[in-house]
Structure 1
Amino acid sequence: MTTPFDFLKLTHADDWRSYTEHRFVRELAAGTLPEAVFRHYLKQDYLFLIQFARAWGLAVYKSRDLSEIRQGLDNLKAIVDVELGLHVGYCASWGIAEADLAQLAESKATLAYTRYVLDAGMSGDLLDLHVALAPCIIGYGEIASWINQQAFTRHDGNPYGEWIDMYAGDEYQGLVASETQWLNERLAEVDASRLQRLSTVFRDATRLEADFWQMGLDLS
């Protein structure tokens, strides 16, 4: 049975595949991604997380009931109180100091995707915002699972193994399942014209996520 979220992915299958099976992802899986490319990605991902926190703050504002407010607040607190600290620590293991992160300028790819997400939420409703965030939230989980299924993936001694394990792990996969369920329940309630508009949001956000991968490769 095709779920509403599956419909979005199937409608834009080429864009979804270009994102989830991007050259950046393949080289990361094989352990051949240049370290300078990964470090650039890590730096920009720090800035992305800050904007991601703003998006969940917007989700709280756009919420219609207490359960949605709690969901948005929980995700906001998780990023601010946990994920940013973990990311700073992970960056430090790659020789990137927290003081350097604070001085970073956003790349064009970071600006494009994060502001698109915020605009989708501001101009639309909570569902628009979640659909714009879906390529990141759900996509990272699918990417990690896909990586672990590939014959070319280097499991032993891969410098990016910790990154893969984090997104393939039970905690993150649980988040993916929860977000997918939330989207399927809300998408099932919309009519065909609304679903088409949301499909466009999903397509554009997916393309912008692929550009985020490409950002680091363009440096090499």
Structure 2
Amino acid sequence: MPFSDTLLAEAESVWEAQYDHPFVTELAAGTLDAAAFRHWVEQDYRYLLDYADVFSLAAASADGEERTARLAETAHRILADEMDLHRSFAEEYGLTPADLEGAEKAPTCQAYTDHLVRAAREGGLATVAAAVYPCGQGYLDVADHMAELADGEHRYTPFVEKYTSDTFRETVSWMRELVDDLADERPGAREDMRAAFHRSAQLEHDFWEMAYTREQWDVTPHQRTAADAD
């Protein structure tokens, strides 16, 4: 069995939880609260900046011209194509480019990007490939699920169309092949790959929750008591 199939089988419960998440089901129906979607736009924009950087870092450490070129190309596609969708949604929801650039990462977004950047800087190429794979495969599978649930077009249809497009499918297929090839070439890296994959998979689910609840940092000041003074 290809290693990617093993990873996906192990993460089946996480995938099912994503399919059932209200952000996913309500987006598919076109009933998702606009404020929740706006929060997703802001946070995913910030996420994608780091996601693209991770592919660039992977390209710098890749072995072979073909892998290096494809990793660098993927970084460019994220910045040039995928983020265009976010910019168009941002305009629709009254967000300026400055709003997107200035948005503070929510705790879950920060945890996810920290995980990816750490994998890119401290892990080998195999670990990085496994860490980024759940984002691609997760969005494709979730968008396919949304397409099955959707009943007609609505304001979120461009989201579903983007992540079910032939171009996106091809990119995910390449990511999957990269995971399998690296797992075969470097069997000693499989446990690190597995750990990186499962952390990213869990954070993919948590990202939907973050957007749905409009998660922010808790900045409520600590109330000093007499015990604190002692």
Q: What TM-score results when the alignment is normalised by the length of structure 1?
A: 0.90
Aligned to 1:216: 211
Q: How many residues align?
A: 215
What TM-score, normalized by structure 2, do the two folds share?
0.86
User: Are the structure 2 counterparts of residues 67 and 157 from structure 1 closer, same or farther at C-alpha, using a change threshold of 3 Å?
Assistant: closer
Aligned pair in 2 of structure 1 residues 20, 203: CA closer, same or farther (>3 Å)?
Answer: farther
Structure 1 21/199 Cα, relative in aligned 2: closer, same or farther at 3 Å?
Answer: farther
SS of the residue 2:185 aligns to: coil
Local SS of the residue matching 2:155: coil
Preserved CA contact (<8 Å) 2:126 2:189: no
Alpha-carbon shift at residue 177 of structure 1 (Å): 1.5
Q: Which moved more, 1:105-114 or 1:90-99?
A: 90-99
Residue identity opposite 1:105 in structure 2: E
Aligned match of 1:11: 10
Correspondence for 2:120 = 121
Structure 2 gap segments, 5+ residues each:
216-230
String of CA shifts for 1:75-109, please: whole Å, max 9, x gaps: 12222333333421232123222121122111111
Counterpart of 2:150 in structure 1: which amino acid? R
Distance 1:37 1:49 in 2: 18
**TM-aligned CA deviation for residue 42 of structure 1:** 0.5
Residues 182-203 of structure 1, C-alpha deviations (whole Å, 9 max, x = no match): 2222223343x63233212111
SS of the equivalent of 2:154 reads coil
Structure 2 counterpart of 1:194, from 185, 189, 192: 189
For the pair 1:162 / 2:158, whether they are aligned, the reply is yes
Instruction: Kindly provide the CA deviation profile for residues 159-188 of structure 1, in whole angstroms up to 9, marking residues without a partner as x.
Output: 211100111111111111222122222223
Give the aligned partner of residue 177 of structure 1. 173
Preserved contact between residue 155 and residue 161 of structure 1 (Cα < 8 Å): no
Q: Residues 136 and 38 from structure 1, CA distance in 2 versus in 1: closer, same or farther, beyond 3 angstroms? A: same
**Residue 20 (structure 1) shift:** 4.4
For 2:14 and 2:80, how far apart are their aligned partners in 1? 33
Deviates more, 1:7-16 or 1:35-44: 7-16
- Aligned residue for 1:74? 73
Deviation at 1:147, TM superposition (A): 2.0
The answer for the alignment partner of 1:98 in structure 2 is 97
- RCO (CA 8 Å, sep 6+): is it higher in 1 or 2? 1
Report which of the two structures shows the higher radius of gyration computed on alpha carbons.
2
